[in-house]
């Protein structure tokens, strides 16, 4: 019957579960030693997690002379989460398993400036559609991660004075979504979300990482001390409007002069090249030009890299990261952008801070947004407290 196993002391089921988040299989004996609890107690706890589906037997262990130990591992397919990435003029919705593997995704052209009601209605309809396509009900969806192109107060899920998101300011995104899904809703800045995605895929063990996105705008997501840093108002990492030396008195749409974004963003570079007579209309034209080894384009990209590097060298002094990842559409232009970044950062940084610093191109690329959005959701779902709550509820009924 419903034995009430309240984990009052020591490791609760949820905290025990954290051990499995590395994705590796573990034996009961191993867990018992790690936690200091008796094997029989561990068994009880694991039974709870197994009955929830979160843990499942994995490949059998080879014998060490006696009965082989059963291996248990995280069951990535126990539930699904959703990851949604809104850009300025596009949107992607996706479902992923608990391992962060994208199951399905769908992209559309959609203006963020259409406002929250329109955008979120699209998202909700699309998620319901994707769930149905996977043969799942709404209850299988435990959390929804959303990336938005502007500052977000993550604790409440409300956008904060976003410059390009008309109608979104202060809109209670989780409340709106929860009218349709009871899943937990996590909202964050899109660049923060991309930082999470990059870390999840390529640098799971790095605790100090800066992700820089260079595209129409320039922004960064900062992971320091293993945690995403959001700052007091949720604007941490907003480096697009830092003044750079080559900025001079170039005016920026923010109202100031000489901002990084005013000289090194895709529109800024295009504007400059057009003034030089090159027939470049958009970012993909720009990328093409660098692929065709058009000298002016390459030089412009490289200079943008130097400008970005100037700001990043300050970041290196401040944050002392182990890895800087360069992403965004501009980074598709081969190694030219990164070469410029490296040139300046390594010239300007103190030896101790730069000797173990890697400056690399994004490995996940365009998928970083939705992967990160899913990671945002997964981190909530697999949190010890969330798991403890699930265990409790499953005992209650």
Partner DNA sequence: AGACTTATGTCGATAATCGTCATAACGTTA
Partner DNA sequence: TAACGTTATGACGATTATCGACATAAGTCT
Number of C-beta neighbours around residue 109 at 10 A: 8
216 binds DNA (CB under 7 A): no
Shortest reach from residue 17's CB to DNA, in Å = 14
48 binds its own copies (CB under 8 A): no
Q: Which is nearer to its own copies, 78 or 160 (CB)?
A: 160
Shortest reach from residue 250's CB to its own copies, in Å = 15
Coil vs helix vs strand at 321: coil
User: Own/partner pairs for 43-48, CB < 8 Å, 24+ apart?
Assistant: 44/5, 45/5, 45/7, 45/11, 45/13, 45/16, 46/16, 46/72, 48/5, 48/13, 48/391, 48/394, 48/395
Binder of residue 166, out of its own copies, DNA, none (CB less than 5 to 8 A by kind): none
- How many residues line the site for its own copies (CB under 8 A)? 58
Q: What strand order describes the sheet that includes 218-224?
A: 227-228, 218-224, 209-214, 323-327, 358-361
What DSSP string runs through 169-192? Answer: TT--HHHHHTTT--SEEEEEEHHH
Q: Nearest Cα to 92, choosing from 236, 171, 197?
A: 197
Shortest reach from residue 388's CB to DNA, in Å = 12
Q: Which of 66, 204, 279, 351 binds its own copies (CB under 8 A)?
A: 351
- Are the C-beta atoms of residues 105 and 131 closer than 8 Å to each other? no
Integer Cα distance of 17 and 219 in angstroms: 35
Q: Nearest Cα to 362, choosing from 384, 386, 335, 388?
A: 335
Give the start-end residues of each E strand in 13-113.
55-57, 72-74, 80-86, 90-97, 102-109
| Near DNA in 305-344, by CB under 7 A | none
Find residue 221's DSSP bridge partners. Answer: 211
Q: Which of 21, 28, 128, 243 binds its own copies (CB under 8 A)?
A: 243
Say how far residue 264 (Cα) sits from the centre of its chain: 23
Q: Which of 1, 6, 59, 135 binds its own copies (CB under 8 A)?
A: 6
Integer Cα distance of 152 and 171 in angstroms: 10
245 binds its own copies (CB under 8 A): yes
- Are the C-beta atoms of residues 241 and 252 closer than 8 Å to each other? yes
| Span near its own copies by CB under 8 A; candidates 20-28, 89-97, 345-353, 361-369 | 345-353
299 binds DNA (CB under 7 A): no
34 binds its own copies (CB under 8 A): no
Quick note: the x/- pattern for DNA over 27-66, rule CB under 7 A, is xxx------xxxxxx-xx---------------x--xxxx
Q: Which of 27, 229, 246, 299 binds its own copies (CB under 8 A)?
A: 229
What DSSP string runs through 193-235? Answer: HHHHHHHHHH-TT-SSEEEEEESSSEEEEEEETTEE---SSS-
367 binds its own copies (CB under 8 A): no
Binder of residue 70, out of DNA, its own copies, none (CB less than 5 to 8 A by kind): DNA
132 binds its own copies (CB under 8 A): no
| Near its own copies in 155-184, by CB under 8 A | 160-161
Q: Which of 353, 361, 363, 366 binds its own copies (CB under 8 A)?
A: 353
248 binds its own copies (CB under 8 A): no
Q: Which is nearer to DNA, 5 or 113 (CB)?
A: 5
Q: What's the token pair of residue 230? A: 């959001």
Q: Using CB under 8 A as the criterion, which residues of the chain lie in contact with its own copies when the complex forms?
A: 6-12, 15, 37, 151, 160-161, 207-208, 220, 222, 224-225, 227, 229-239, 241-243, 245, 254, 256, 310-311, 313-315, 317-322, 348, 350-353, 356-357, 385, 388-389, 392
Q: Using CB under 7 A as the criterion, which residues of the chain lie in contact with DNA when the complex forms?
A: 3-10, 27-29, 36-41, 43-44, 60, 63-70
């Amino acid at each position: 019957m419903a034995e009430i196993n309240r984990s009052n002391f020591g490791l609760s089921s949820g905290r025990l579960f954290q051990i499995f988040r590395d994705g590796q299989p573990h034996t009961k004996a191993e867990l018992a030693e790690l936690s200091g609890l008796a094997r029989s107690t561990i068994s009880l706890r694991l039974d709870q997690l197994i009955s929830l589906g979160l843990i499942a037997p994995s490949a059998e262990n080879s014998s060490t002379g006696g009965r082989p130990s059963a291996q248990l591992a995280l069951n990535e397919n126990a539930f699904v989460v959703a990851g949604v990435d809104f850009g300025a003029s596009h949107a992607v919705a996706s479902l992923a398993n608990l391992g962060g593997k994208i199951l399905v995704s769908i992209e559309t052209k959609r203006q963020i400036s259409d406002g929250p009601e329109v955008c979120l209605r699209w998202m909700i309809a699309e998620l319901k559609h994707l769930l149905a396509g996977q043969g799942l009900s709404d209850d299988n969806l435990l959390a929804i991660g959303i990336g938005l192109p502007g500052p977000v107060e993550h604790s409440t899920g409300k956008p904060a004075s976003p410059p390009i998101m008309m109608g979104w300011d202060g809109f209670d995104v989780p409340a709106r979504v929860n009218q349709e899904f009871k899943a937990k809703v996590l909202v964050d800045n899109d660049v923060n979300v991309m930082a999470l995605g990059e870390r999840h895929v390529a640098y799971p063990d790095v605790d100090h990482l800066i992700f820089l996105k260079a595209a129409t705008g320039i922004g960064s997501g900062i992971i320091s001390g293993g945690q995403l840093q959001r700052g007091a108002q949720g604007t941490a990492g907003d480096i697009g409007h830092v003044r750079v030396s080559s900025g001079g008195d170039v005016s920026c749409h923010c109202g100031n002069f000489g901002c990084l974004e005013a000289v090194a963003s895709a529109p800024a570079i295009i504007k400059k090249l057009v003034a030089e007579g090159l027939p470049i209309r958009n970012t993909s034209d720009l990328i093409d030009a660098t692929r065709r080894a058009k000298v002016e384009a390459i030089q412009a990209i490289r200079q943008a890299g130097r400008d970005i590097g100037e700001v990043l060298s300050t970041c290196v002094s401040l944050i002392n990261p182990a890895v800087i990842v360069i992403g965004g559409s501009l980074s598709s232009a081969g190694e030219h952008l990164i070469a410029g970044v490296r040139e300046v950062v390594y010239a300007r940084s103190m030896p101790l801070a730069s000797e173990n610093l890697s400056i690399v191109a994004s490995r996940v690329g365009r998928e970083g947004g939705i992967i990160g959005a899913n990671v945002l959701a997964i981190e909530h779902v697999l949190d010890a407290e969330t798991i403890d709550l699930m265990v409790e509820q499953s005992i209650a009924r």
